[in-house]
Every structure is written in C-alpha cells, then in structure tokens.
C-alpha cells in the first residue's frame, strides 16, 4: 500500500498516478475492513473446544510466544497477545484434565538480556499454584520447528506412550500441528489465543477502518509464509 502511494506521488504520468493511487486506496480499505479480516481469520483459525468436551490427558504441551521477555522490572510476567495459551492450560490443570505440563520456548531471535520464554511460563504457573513437579521446562527452542523437535524428545524420554494435548494459539495451530506430527507424535489439539470475534455485520465492522484488521492480516500472512518456508525446509 505504501509502495503504491509513493509511486502515485513519484510518477509523472497522470494516468498511472491515478491508477496507483486508487489501487492503494482499494488495498487500504480492503485490509482495514474488520468484517473481512474477521471472516478470513475465522476460516483459518481452529474453532474453540468446549471445556466439557475435553478429555483427560497425561501431558499438556504449551508452545510459548505470549510473553514479553525484555520488559523490566523482571519481578513479574508480562503477557502479550495469546496469553490464553497458558491461562487455559492452567484451567485445564485445575479441572483435572491434564496431569503434567510441558512449556517450550527459549530466547527466540531476541538474543538480549532476556529470560527464556519457558522460564516465564513456568513462573506464571508456579505463582498460580501449580507444583514444580508437574511442570517440565524446555528452554532451548528458538522457533516452532525446534519447539516440536525438543518436545518430542522429552515425550519419548519422560512421558512415553501417554496421552498428549497440544495447546497453542488458534492461528498458529496449523504450523505447530504439522511440525509435531512430523516428529511422529500422536496427540490431540486445544486451540487458544483467538484473534477472532463472533462474526457480526454491524456498521462499525462493515464501514469503519480498523488497525486491528490489518494486524489480523499480518498474522495470517506470517503463518502462510511460515508454512511455505517450513515445507521447503522439510520441517513439515
């Protein structure tokens, strides 16, 4: 969109100026439309599963990516989008639906004075009353592929032949699921951290541009590019 607007300002031909300008306007209106972005993401995201329909599992597997590691002071856990990944895991544990919890995530690509993502999730769970003996921490993974590889090793060594439940954000579930399946793990899924709302056709959603809508498209395109890249790399 920015490129089209810049071209419309730079080009001398009035015909191309108008064409690029209105193309930019069209894309801006389309991608900032709340109704369209919500409908597309509803198609992409896995649907929520009612708690009463969740069975009993030996191990819940939680992929990180929902905390802010560089935020200070470091006397608390700072959550970003997708905190439902860990809060819903806590709810499942409190309801007796999971016995053990694996939290997976390292420093990612932010190699600064951070704590590992898994450390922050572990801290939250222990503050919420989950015993240390229930939590297994994997704090080396830098991306979703490494999450799957490292967790698969833990399952094989510590929790062989048990029932597993993968918990991650609904928009991220497809890539996570494919990566863990590639490691030969048999599991069920529990999507959380939804970016969508119930589909409505009110005036605001249909006609008022929203930055939130552009954010949904950003997440969706990131996941699609991620899946394509992982496919080329042989990760899935």
Ramachandran area for residue 64 (φ above 0: left; ψ -120 to 50: alpha; else beta): beta
- pLDDT, position 108: 62
Q: Give the single-character DSSP code of 160.
A: T
Mean pLDDT for 98-116 is 79
Give percent of the chain above pLDDT 90: 76
Q: What is the pTM of this model?
A: 0.90
pLDDT in tens, 123-155: 999 999 999 999 999 999 999 999 999 999 999
Residue 69 has pLDDT above 80, yes or no: no
Residue 92 has pLDDT above 90, yes or no: yes
Q: Residue 50 has which token pair?
A: 């009612």
Instruction: Report CA-CA distances (Å) from 138 to 73, 121, 134, 142, 145.
Output: 24, 11, 13, 11, 13
- The partner residues of 192 in beta bridges, in order of sequence, read 169
Residue 66 binned pLDDT confidence (cut-offs 50, 70, 90): confident
Give me the phi and psi of 59, to 5 degrees please. -140, 130
CB burial class (10 A; 0-12, 13-18, 19+) of residue 115?
middle
Residue pair 104/176 in contact by the 8 Å Cβ criterion: no
- Taking the C-alpha atoms of residue 56 and residue 58, their distance in angstroms, rounded to an integer, is 7
pLDDT in tens, 175-217: 999 999 999 999 999 999 999 988 888 898 999 999 999 999 9
């Amino acid at each position: 969109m920015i490129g089209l607007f810049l071209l419309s300002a730079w080009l001398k031909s009035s015909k191309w100026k108008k064409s690029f300008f209105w193309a930019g306007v069209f894309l801006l209106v389309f991608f900032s439309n709340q109704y369209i972005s919500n409908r597309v993401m509803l198609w992409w995201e896995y649907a929520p599963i009612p708690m009463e329909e969740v069975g009993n599992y030996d191990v819940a597997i939680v992929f990180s990516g929902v905390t802010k590691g560089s935020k200070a002071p470091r006397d608390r856990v700072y959550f970003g989008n997708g905190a439902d990944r860990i809060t819903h895991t806590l709810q499942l544990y409190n309801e007796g639906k999971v016995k053990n919890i694996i939290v997976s995530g390292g420093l990612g690509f932010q190699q600064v004075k951070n704590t590992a993502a898994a450390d922050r999730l572990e801290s939250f769970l222990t503050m919420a009353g989950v015993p240390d003996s229930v939590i297994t921490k994997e704090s080396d993974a830098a991306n979703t592929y490494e999450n799957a590889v490292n967790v698969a090793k833990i399952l094989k060594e510590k929790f062989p032949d048990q029932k597993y439940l993968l918990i991650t954000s609904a928009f991220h579930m497809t890539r996570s699921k494919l990566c863990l399946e590639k490691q030969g793990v048999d599991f069920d899924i529990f999507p959380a951290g939804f970016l969508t709302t119930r589909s409505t056709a009110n005036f605001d959603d249909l006609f008022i541009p929203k930055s939130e809508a552009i954010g949904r498209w950003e997440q969706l395109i990131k996941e699609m590019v991620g899946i394509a890249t992982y496919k080329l790399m042989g990760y899935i």
